Amino acid sequence: MTRVFRAALVVALTLMATSTARAQQVAYAATVMTELDSATQAALSREINAALGRGLPAEPLLAKVREGRSKQASATLIRNAVHSLTRRLDSARVALGAMSTVEELTAGAVAIAEGADLSSLRAVRAATNRSIAAPLGTLAQLLGSRVEEKKAVAMIVGLLQRSASPAHLVALGNLVEGDVASGLRPEEAALFRLRGIEASLSFGDKAELSAPTGVGPPSTGTSTQKPQRRP
Amino acid sequence: MHQRLRAFLSGLLIIAVSRPLGAQHALVIDVGLAGAHFPDDNVSAGGPYLRLTGSAMTSQLFGSYDAGAITSIGSASGYGSVRAGIRTGLTPGWNAEVATELSAVAGSNHNGAAGTALLGGRATWTSLGWGGWLHADTHSSGRTNATLLGSGADAGLWASWSQLQISATVLHEATRAELFAGRFRTGFLGTVPVNYSEGSIAVHVEGDRTSFDGSASLRRDPDATKLWETSSLASLAVWAGDQFAFVFTAARQLPDWVRGADAAESFSVGMRFRQPTPERARALRVMPYVLLTDDADPRAFRVRAAGARTLEVMGDFTDWEARPLVRAGSVFDLGAKLTSGVHRLLVRVDGGAWRAAVNTPVVDDEFGGKVGLLVVP
């Protein structure tokens, strides 16, 4: 009976904490949107509340509103950006599962924005039990560097299966990004850097992040001067 | 009249060499007065000039243009040059590029017209603050009486500090020149080969609102009157506004056998528009680089920005509000750690424009701009 009571108490406290956190998020959202017109505020509140109701995190959506405000974007652009992000977060949640963290969903949404399929997100999820926020960030970075999606996913999954650390994965994305920016072909850069990181894994190392008058033919006699070569 | 036009055309080329090193702007406008003496014909000329220059580049493509006009009583001349190329990476640090240049001069008298096409390849090596290059080209130039073919090769080194740039070049040129029996290109006799070697050094020094460009070269030309010849240039720019400067230039120029400019001694006094002050240009040249790999503190947010005086960041981890970083040498510290995952951010150097750090991939921000992505392990 005591155990049942304790279990009920934990569930109640969890629900209360969730409810409190949600209330805080809604209150914070109101402060974020204070400088927006009432129609935009209402539209954004509906969008964010609906997202919260579906279990999506509010933080990335509120950050999007903040970003738009900082950049003095129009209300329409802010609404569209938040709506697009909501859709990407929904997709990421479908692919990654309901238990995904805010960081994972945010990274998944970024990867989707860079062109990742949901199957790619699932493949990365299936490769490890650890957080995949950094691997999904690396996937987004490789896709942004124009590495073919299948190859990018295979590289990341391969590294995760070899227990590569998040730092190794981030190093792969950063190094390929730098190589491609300096003109190397994406596939070559990715393969080259992957081999380097695999080698460091083998050795147990950490990833390394880190008109003058001249002399010419004889004169024709048309002039008393010496012939001149001219540029 | 044609000799005077020719002199003006050469004057334009003199103006062209006075451009500061490393300028990268869509459009820079120069206007002023230029005067020149041409020792080969023993004539002097002068008049108002207008010059437009610009350049742009992406990660692989680059291009520039240079167009100018100079007028005098009863005559006018123009000069135009377009250069474009493609660059590709070979290995980290090494790049290869192929570029072509088309240039033309024309005036109200056709005797002054000349057109030149160059095609060249270059290999460059770049490290932090210095680098070098190897370059070769071939060219064809249509002149009044003949088409002249030639080729050249050069190699150089450069070093760059925050307010000082130095470069040194050696080159060899093998081309042809028209041969005339009289002054002012009269009495055409044919063409003769021209072979010369040259070494030069150039320096660029700048303050916050002033810059100085100087260069000197030594040429060895076995067929010239003097085996060894020298040239030099000095140009001072003083900014009176954010994008407006007074420019003073004096030059002693050797003949350009490739594009057809005569030897000349010249000066110009003018105004330059749309070129930012050196202080602002330095801020644009600063390459802010996010550091997250300190073994002791892997998620502390720092930015290396050599040459920057102040640095700010805004991103999702600052609620998109500008936050100044604390400077320690060339590294700036936010004093906060980032959570694992993907963050969006922009940085600002010396109060300039917000932009992505060089090592954060740039993506559309959905507000019509760009934003940098940072993946934190």
Model pLDDT for residues A101-158, shown as the tens digit of each residue: 999 999 999 999 999 999 999 999 999 999 999 999 999 999 999 999 999 999 999 9
Instruction: Tell me: ipTM over 0.85.
Output: no
Confirm or reject contact between A71 and chain B (CB < 8 A). Answer: yes
Contact assignment for A170 to B376 by CB distance below 8 Å: yes
Higher pLDDT, B62 or A215: B62
Distance CA A155, CA A79 (A): 36
Contact assignment for B92 to A66 by CB distance below 8 Å: no
- B119-171 confidence digits (pLDDT tens): 999 999 988 789 999 999 999 999 888 999 999 999 999 998 878 999 999 99
Confirm or reject contact between A163 and chain B (CB < 8 A). Answer: no
Measured between CA atoms, how close is B341 to chain A, in angstroms? 5
**Residue B183: its pLDDT value, please?**
77
Q: Please check whether residue B9 is in contact with residue B112, taking contact to mean a CB–CB distance below 8 angstroms.
A: yes
Measured between CA atoms, how close is B246 to chain A, in angstroms? 31
Residue of A nearest to B253 (CA): A211
Contact assignment for A220 to B187 by CB distance below 8 Å: yes
- Given a cut of 90, whether residue B282 has pLDDT beyond it is no
- Given a cut of 80, whether residue B72 has pLDDT beyond it is no
* pTM of the predicted model over 0.80: no
- Given a cut of 50, whether residue B189 has pLDDT beyond it is yes
Q: DSSP character for B110?
A: G
What φ, ψ does residue B197 adopt, rounded to 5°? -125, 150
**Residue B315: its pLDDT value, please?**
94
Neighbours of A150 (CB within 10 A): 12
Give the mutation candidate from A28, A185, A225, A229 for the B interface (greatest B CB count, under 10 A).
A229
Helices (H) and strands (E) in chain B, counts: 2, 24
Q: DSSP character for A129?
A: S
Cα-to-chain-centroid distance, residue B286: 18
Residue of B nearest to A82 (CA): B366
Q: In B, which residues are within 8 Å of A220 by CB distance? A: 181, 187, 189
Contact assignment for A217 to B179 by CB distance below 8 Å: yes
Q: In A, which residues are within 8 Å of B226 by CB distance? A: 212
For residue B134 the two structure tokens come to 């190897």
- Given a cut of 70, whether residue B306 has pLDDT beyond it is yes
Q: DSSP character for A88?
A: H
H or E stretch including A16? helix A2-32
Q: Which residue has the tokens 């938040």?
A: A82
- In A118-171, which ranges are E strands? none
Q: Please check whether residue A211 is in contact with residue B262, taking contact to mean a CB–CB distance below 8 angstroms.
A: yes
Higher pLDDT, B292 or B74: B292
Residue type, position B87, single letter? R
Burial class (CB in 10 A: 0-12, 13-18, 19+), B163: middle
